[in-house]
Copies of this chain bind each other. A is one copy, B any other.
Amino acid sequence: MNNFEYQNPTKILFGKDQIENISKEIPNKAKVLLLYGGGSIKKNGIYEQVTKALKGFEVVEFGGIPANPEYAVLMDALKIIKEQKITFLLAVGGGSVIDGTKFLSSAALYKGDTPWDILTENIRTTSGMPFGTVLTLPATGSEMNSGAVITREETKEKLAMGGPGLFPQFSVLDPTVIQSIPKRQLANGITDAFTHVLEQYMTYPINALLQDRISESILQTLIEVAPKVMKDPKDYKAAADFMWSCTMALNGLIQKGVPTDWAVHAIGHELTALYGIDHARTLAVIAPSHYRYNFEAKKEKLAQYAERVWNITEGSVDEKAKQAIVRTEMFFNGLGIDTKLSDYTRDYMGTAQEISRRFTVRGWNTLGEHKNLSPSDVEKIVTMAY
């Protein structure tokens, strides 16, 4: 096991009717900016619950944060924060709204001229404007971590930011929100959380026995609840297990003391930037090819995953490892998620070269847990995913 530091101060309020408790978590006399996305919260009753809970606070609203939170939109929100002297941010939404709010938390206290520098210059945020979240779509884990990914349409960029100042003060996880989520987004959420675990697990053995088993626990739980959640989003028991699994998949715990990969995300982000493919679906496209291309480096963990998660106990390490990749594709397919780029766009020729070119320009020569994947490797992985 590698040395590690771990601290996660976010307070989780989990369960039915927890939204009404947010008033106890927001400082008295706070001036709150309520941030949300396309407005689905006004149809499913969450907006009503939140505004009721915020009674007594001075509240300003900012809706319209798009999926893949857009820098230009967020800059409009930042203007409101400054003009209205906002002191607390409340994100009500999925990963995009929460990530956008994290950017605003950082940008609100940023001393430099251009907040975009936070992303391009990798400035870690040690102190941001305090914020809480009400999660409406389990998937990204952003509700209990300190990272965010922001998109800039103008330059077709999608970049990450983070820092210890960007943990939410609190996050409400009410599994009943799942009832009104479209199936397509539920499938995305399951796929996203599943791949988050894989990025922190599918590397090489390092004798972190407990971290491995907890990762496998999350994968097993997602596999067990996925059909139930897809069949009946009103199944509260399944929704609760699904929601908590998504949070645990990316709250930092399972990555401590172990090597992590994240190449699937790095490549997947480009597919979203280029073609607007849903984030989770880009992961399902890239992961199988990535594991096949890096088979020798990953086969021991792939075989362990085959045995413990998929109960594949027959065959050699190589055979089990190969079967595990197939089972992973089948799992995604079973959710209605396609796993080839050509399923999403006819215009895929040249994509591998373009992504490789972008990585070269950025100097990204060290992807993967061994930090040995070059842009030319990335080109081959993407080609395998056509």
A residues with a Cβ closer than 8 A to B are 1-18, 207-211, 213-214, 216-218, 220-221, 224-225, 237, 240-241, 244-245, 248, 256-257
Contacts and interface: CB of A to CB of B under 8 A. Distances in A.
A233 to B, nearest CB: 16
Given A1-B244, A14-B4, A256-B14, A213 B217 contact: yes
Contacts of A13: 5
Contacts of A4: 12, 14-15
A224 B213 CA distance: 12
B5 A7 contact: no
Nearest to A9: B9
Number of copies: 2
Contacts of A220: 213
A6 B12 contact: yes
Contacts of A257: 14-15, 240, 244
Contacts of A244: 1, 210-211, 257
| Main SS at interface, chain A | mixed
A7 B208 CA distance: 24
- 9 closest Cβ pairs, A-B complex: A3-B15, A213-B217, A7-B11, A9-B9, A1-B240, A207-B237, A6-B12, A209-B241, A210-B221
A221 B214 CA distance: 10
Contacts of A248: 210
Contact of A5 (B6, B14, B207, B256): B14
A18 B8 CA distance: 19
Nearest to A248: B210
Nearest to A16: B3
Given A6-B12, A12-B7, A210 B1 contact: no
A126 to B, nearest CB: 13
Given A1-B15, A217-B217, A240-B1, A245 B7 contact: no
Contacts of A9: 7-9
30 contacts: A1-B14, A1-B15, A1-B240, A2-B15, A3-B15, A3-B16, A3-B17, A3-B18, A4-B14, A4-B15, A6-B11, A6-B12, A7-B10, A8-B8, A9-B9, A14-B256, A208-B241, A209-B221, A209-B224, A209-B225, A210-B221, A210-B244, A213-B216, A213-B217, A213-B218, A213-B220, A213-B221, A214-B214, A214-B217, A240-B257
A265 to B, nearest CB: 23
Contacts of A237: 1, 207
Contacts of A7: 9-12
A10 B6 CA distance: 8
Contacts of A10: 7
A4 B214 CA distance: 20
A237 B221 CA distance: 28
B5 A11 contact: yes
